[in-house]
Amino acid sequence: MKISIEWVYRTKNGTEAVFHSEEMSPEMAVSLAEDMEKTGRTKRISFFDISGTSWTLKELKKYLKEIETEPHHITVYFDGGFDRASKKAGLGCVVYYKQNSG
């Protein structure tokens, strides 16, 4: 899953601006949001996945906790070949995933 962050920044004199981030991993989004909150100038932080669903920081942390023991960020590669001399074919598959990244 990829997440983008939208946050409202407020300056000392009260001027506000809305910023949007590029897509990133949920782990990186949580880390950045926690750092932005430490400044005390972030009025509101929202997270959006690629389908447009809105998440709060609390929901995103809960999601990360839930998938901690499940495989995620799964990538599968397939490869095949054929030997004309022996007329034999072969197929290979490899699966990469992340798990227990905590």
**Range of the structural domain that residue 12 is part of:** 3-98
pLDDT score, position 34:
94
**Structural domain count of the chain:** 1
* 102 pLDDT more than 60: no
Query: Residue 63: enclosing H or E segment and its boundaries?
Result: helix 57-66
Q: 90: which strand partners?
A: 81
Query: Residue 11: enclosing H or E segment and its boundaries?
Result: none
pLDDT score, position 98:
83
Distance in angstroms (rounded) separating the CA atoms of residues 44 and 9:
8
pLDDT tens for each residue of 1-56? 899 999 999 988 989 999 999 999 999 999 999 999 998 889 899 999 999 999 99
97 within 8 A of 72, measured Cβ to Cβ = yes
